[in-house]
Each structure stands twice: as C-alpha cells, then as structure tokens.
Amino acid sequence: MKNKAIFLRILKLVKPHAVLIVLSLLCAVGNVFSALFIPVLTGRAIDEMIGEGRVSFENIRHILTLFLIAFLVNAATVWLMTLINNRITFKVVRDLRRDLFAKLHSVPIFYMDSLGHGDLLSRIVSDVERLSDGLLLGFSQLFTGILTIVATLVFMVRINLWIALAVMVLTPLSLFAASFISKKTFKYFKAQAALQGGLTSFINETIGAVRVVKTFGYEKEENEEFNKKNEEFAKTNLKALFFSSTTNPVTRFVNSMVYAAVGILGAFLGVAGKITVGTLTCFLSYANQYTKPFNEISGVITEFQNAIACAGRIFELMDAKDFVDTVTDPVEAPKLTGDIEVKDLAFSYDKSKKLLYDISFHAAPGSHIAIVGPTGCGKTTFINLMMRFFEPDAGTILYDGIESDRIRRNELRTNIGMVLQDTWLKEGSVFENIAYGKPDATKEEVMEAAKKSHAHSFISRLENGYDTVLAPDGGNLSAGQKQLLCIARVMLALPPILILDEATSSIDTRTESKITKAFQTLMEGRTSFIVAHRLSTIRNADLILVMKDGNIIEQGTHDELLVKKGFYYQMLNSR
C-alpha cells in the first residue's frame, strides 16, 4: 500500500470522530491566538509604565482584563484539546484492537501460522500503540505548530518588518543545526544499534544456555568475550549518546543568538523611536519560543513516518482474506453418527508441491482408525482438513453421506472432539477450562467429566480444586495433567467423532496409563481417529492408515498389513 493510501485510510479511521476533531481544531486556533496575544499584552502594559509618575493605570487595568481573558481562554482550550485528542486516539485504538482481534478469528489458520504469532501480536499491540502515538502527536502538535509559525510571522511582520526578517532568517539556522546533528547521530545510532543487537544476542544465547556454559566450565571464556563486546559497545554508545545530547544545547544556542540579534536590532530601532520597549519585549518572547514549533513539527514528522509504517502493517492484517464459510445447500444442524467417507482428498499450500493427495478410505460409525507414519507424512494436514481448518483442493469428505461443505463449519466442529499433543489451556479456572466447549455446564457435569477422564483426583489435590486458576499456558501443571484436562474438556461435550493425538514422551508412566484409560472411555462407541504411537493402540484399531509423503500407502487391519509385508511390516521390524 502506498503511503498516501495509508494516510487516507487513517483519515477514514478517525472520520467517525469528525465532530470532535473540528472541535479540537477550533480549540487549537483559540489556543494559538491566545498564547500569541499574551506577550503583546505584556508589551503593551510595559509601554504604559514609562517611569515615575507616568503610569497610566486606566490603560493597564484595561490591558490586564484582556490578559486575564487571554490566559483563561488559553488554559481552557489547552485542557479541552487534550481531553478531546486523547478521547479520539484511545477510541481509535480500542476499535482497531477490537477489529484486529476479531480478524484473528476469521482468517485461515495457516495465515496465522505463516505470519508467525509474534508478528501478529506485535501488530495488534505495539503497532497500534505506535499509530496512536503518531495520531495523538499529529493532532496535538502538527496543527498548532503550523498555526503558531504562521500566526507568529503575521504578528511579527505587522509589528515590525525588520525584526521579523531577522527572526525569519536566523531561525531556520537552528533547524539546519538540528538536522545536521541528527544525521551525524543517526550514523552512530545505527552502529550502536548493531553492536547492541550483537550484545543482546550474546546475552540471550549464553544466559539462555547457561547450563551448557557451566557444564563445560566455559565461564571464563564467555566472560572475556562479553567484556570485549561490552567495551566496544560502550565506545560507540558514548559517541551516539553525546552527539544526540548536543541537539538541545545547539538549539538553545541558536535561540540565544536570535534573541541577541532581536535585542540589538530592537534596541537600535527603539533608540530611533521606531518601536516601543513593550514591542521589543513582545518580540523577545516570540524569539524565545519561535524554534519550539519547528522542533515539534520535525518530531511529529518522524513519529508520523513510524505511524504510517505501523498503519501499513495493521491494514495489511485487516485486509487479509477471510476464511469464509461458503456452504451451498446447507444441512441444518446435523447430528452425525460418525460414518465418514473420504474420497480422493488433496491439499497443498504451494501448488507446486503436493502436501496431501489421493486420500480415500471409509470409516464406519464407532470404528477406531489409527493413523501411523513418520513425521511430515501429512497426518496433521489431514486433521486440519477434517476439522475444516483448511479446505481441500480436491476431493470430498462425506459425513453420513453429506459433503463436508454442506455442513456449516461451526456445526461440523460441534460434532468432532479433538485432543492434540500440544495441550492448550487458557488462563482461567480449571472449571472454566473443562467447560470450554460447553460453557453452560453445571458443576456436577464438569466433575463427572473429570472423573471419567481420571483428572478428578489431581484436581481435588490442587489448592482450590476446580476453582484453581491456571497460569498462562497451564504453567503450574505437568504435561500429563494438562493432557488429562484436555481430555476432560472433550469428555464433557462428548461429540460422535474424535481426533486424538497420542503422546510420545515426557509423560510419566502412571499418568500415561491414566491417559490411555481416559482415551478408552472417550472412544467407546465413537468414530475415533488416533495419531498413534503405541503398538497396542494400533493393533486394536479397526483400520490402520499408513501414511508416507502425503499419501496413504497402505490401509487395513494389523493382521492384513502384516501379511502384505509392505511398509508397515518393515516399520514394525525396524525396531
């Protein structure tokens, strides 16, 4: 997307707040003019105090009344402006995050997988934050900045052309100085960022693998290496930090020079009777503040460039194609029996590489189907197709004779229960987690499901039983306990079709036997697909699908396959 297009879309985002924006701009106008009016009034007041016995109190009272009005207007407008701008940006942020989060639930799963979770997260969290910072600054400083510059110029030219010219010529100098420094600094910052990156990765790596370092007694070497990097980093860091910190003094210096020039020139004009002392003081205070809006605007521009880049990423996610559920001739809320027929199913992400093809088989209601094969053979892809996380490129899956694309995804999924190896639990109570698929479940139902899943005993031993709040990702449970909870979650819903993934390792024997028993209870009378590793499971299956390189190369029962002496037979004998 082009920057201009992005900008236009940002405008669209804030469009619902048009009334507030107009109000904010009006406030800004009032704010700028009142701010610029105050020095004029101060100057006028000073002009009314010529010397002993020559003070016009009548006029001063009049001026001070205006002064009071001016600063009250100034205070009121700055207050309103801040409130309005914050309101607009925070609301835009809220709406963006809401829409982006909803988007997460409508894009295809593989879109999320391919973009990476970290990337998506940073779009919704930090990119939105950066965009809002840019917006806020843009609202609050860009317009007021430009207005201040223009209005000051007009004010100055109207009061005295010569001094105005001096200010106009000298002020850009400070901007040049600032941009010179920032270019210089940028170079060092880049070098610093590179070194810092190196240092951080080194820290990440050695502290992340501190056990390896200690195992091989490599502490001394790593320390030396670190000190070398640290030293190098500090050198560049000093340059970057010093040069960047010169911006303020240099700007201040140029400002002082402008101040001096205005002072001298003004004084001569004063002596010549062209301007009054009050006018000079007004000029001096303008000169003092004149660089400020310039600096602010250049700050806003940098921030805005960032914001545009962030907005680009946000809109990209927003525009990602939805995974639309196009059902033709839908069958309303089918209650499936578990008869599944798969015909010539094929799928690939990249059309040049076949990921899964020619998958055909039939599963009778209540039968148990074991899927075996080496990693990368397409087992996971097959599951994704069954759940309609992906849509097949060719072929069909028939549930009770109904083509899968005639069943709404939501309704299909209520008929399928899934227990995967990567056990996902949400941050919430044990109860909430078990009732995840059936939020209106009663306490009794949840406990019943937990008992059937052999999870009840460990849950009762938890500090608060079913009300124990799990850490993110079930952090306070063991891998086996997490698996048991995932089983209980499905046990509660008890759908007619199951997809189960047998654990391979890292679960202790006792828990593993509980899981096996729980699986057996679950599978009773249900069509079950098991990604199997245990020989007993495979042997007891009604149908074994042997997969390799995206294809079913053999299918049948254990005995049939042994007789065949094919890949399955070899696999068993290579033990």
Partner 1 sequence: MKKLLKYLNNYRLECAVAPSFKMLEALFELFVPLVMTKIIDEGITAGNTRIIVKNGIMLVLLAFIGLTCSLTAQYFAARAAIGFAKGVRSSLYEKILGFSYENIDRIGQSSLITRITNDISQVQNGVNMVLRLLLRSPFIVFGAMIMAFTINVKAALIFVVMIPLLFLAVFTVTLVTIPMYKKIQRTLDKLTGHIRENLTGSRVVRAFNAGEREKETFNKENDHLLHASLVTSRVSAILNPATVIIVNASMLILIASGANLVNEGTLTNGQVYALVNYMSQILVELVKFANLMITINKSLASASRISETLDIENALKDEGTVDALGLEDTDEIIRFEDVHFAYPGTGASFVEGMSFSVKPGQTIGIIGGTGSGKSTLASLLMRFYDTDSGHIYYKGKDIKELSLSTYRKCFSSVPQKAQLFSGTLRDNLLVADPSATDEEMLTAIRLAEAENVVFAKGEGLDMKINEGSTNLSGGQRQRLTIARALVRKAPILILDDSSSALDYATDSRLRANLKTLTDKTVFIISQRVISVKNSDKILVLDDGDIAGFGTHDELFENCPVYREICDSQDTKGEESL
Taking CB under 8 A as the criterion, which residues in 390-449 touch partner 1? 409-410, 413-414, 416-418, 420, 424, 426-427, 436-437, 439
Contact assessment for residue 300 and residue 137, using Cβ atoms and an 8 Å cutoff:
yes
Count CA atoms closer than 13 A to 268's CA, side-chain side: 7
Q: Which stretch binds partner 1 (CB under 8 A): 3-11, 18-26, 357-365, 535-543?
A: 535-543
Please pick, from the candidates 22, 161, 193, 207, the single residue that binds partner 1 as defined by CB under 8 A.
Answer: 207
Q: What is the CA radius of gyration of the chain?
A: 36
Site for partner 1 in 224-243 (CB under 8 A): 226-227, 230-231, 233-234, 237-238, 241-242
Q: Which stretch binds partner 1 (CB under 8 A): 255-263, 450-458, 521-529, 551-559?
A: 255-263
CB of 464 to partner 1, least distance (A): 19
Q: Establish if 193 lies at the interface with partner 1 (CB under 8 A).
A: no
Q: Name the burial class of residue 432, with classes exposed (0-12), middle (13-18) and buried (19+) by CB atoms within 10 angstroms of its CB.
A: middle
Q: In what order do the strands lie in the sheet with 394-399?
A: 356-363, 340-347, 394-399, 402-403
CB of 214 to partner 1, least distance (A): 7
User: Residue 157 or residue 277: which is nearer to partner 1 going by CB?
Assistant: 277
Tokens of 8: 């236009």
User: Residue 112 or residue 364: which is nearer to partner 1 going by CB?
Assistant: 112
User: Residue 151 or residue 284: which is nearer to partner 1 going by CB?
Assistant: 284
Q: Nearest to residue 97, comparing CAs of 127, 138, 136, 117?
A: 127
Compute the residue count for the chain: 575
Site for partner 1 in 34-73 (CB under 8 A): 38, 42, 45-55, 57, 60, 64, 67-68, 71-72
Q: Establish if 507 lies at the interface with partner 1 (CB under 8 A).
A: yes
Count CA atoms closer than 13 A to 407's CA, side-chain side: 24
Write the interaction track for partner 1 spanning residues 297-326; mark x where CB under 8 A is met and - where it is not. ------------------------------
**Full DSSP string of 35-73:** HHHHHHHHHHHHHTB-STT-B-HHHHHHHHHHHHHHHHH
Q: Establish if 268 lies at the interface with partner 1 (CB under 8 A).
A: yes
Q: Establish if 511 lies at the interface with partner 1 (CB under 8 A).
A: yes
Q: Which stretch binds partner 1 (CB under 8 A): 147-155, 253-261, 394-402, 555-563?
A: 253-261
Site for partner 1 in 157-176 (CB under 8 A): none
Q: Which stretch binds partner 1 (CB under 8 A): 154-162, 283-291, 445-453, 522-530?
A: 283-291
Tokens of 137: 């600054």
Q: What does the alpha-carbon distance between residue 442 and residue 445 come to, in Å, rounded to a whole number?
A: 5
Contact assessment for residue 152 and residue 285, using Cβ atoms and an 8 Å cutoff:
no
CB of 504 to partner 1, least distance (A): 8
Contact assessment for residue 356 and residue 381, using Cβ atoms and an 8 Å cutoff:
yes
Please pick, from the candidates 3, 5, 94, 333, the single residue that binds partner 1 as defined by CB under 8 A.
Answer: 94
Please pick, from the candidates 308, 538, 543, 545, the single residue that binds partner 1 as defined by CB under 8 A.
Answer: 538
The beta strands (E) that lie in 245-296 are given as none
Q: Which stretch binds partner 1 (CB under 8 A): 22-30, 178-186, 461-469, 503-511?
A: 503-511
Please pick, from the candidates 316, 508, 524, 560, the single residue that binds partner 1 as defined by CB under 8 A.
Answer: 508
User: Residue 23 or residue 364: which is nearer to partner 1 going by CB?
Assistant: 23
What angle do helix axes 143-159 and 291-318 make, rounded to 10 degrees? 160
CB of 211 to partner 1, least distance (A): 6
Please pick, from the candidates 6, 13, 21, 120, the single residue that binds partner 1 as defined by CB under 8 A.
Answer: 120
Exposed e or buried b per residue across 331-363, where buried means at least 16 C-beta atoms within 10 angstroms of its C-beta: beebebebbbbbeebbbeeeeeebbbbebeeeb
What angle do helix axes 128-137 and 3-14 make, rounded to 10 degrees? 80
User: Residue 16 or residue 208: which is nearer to partner 1 going by CB?
Assistant: 208
Q: Establish if 144 lies at the interface with partner 1 (CB under 8 A).
A: no
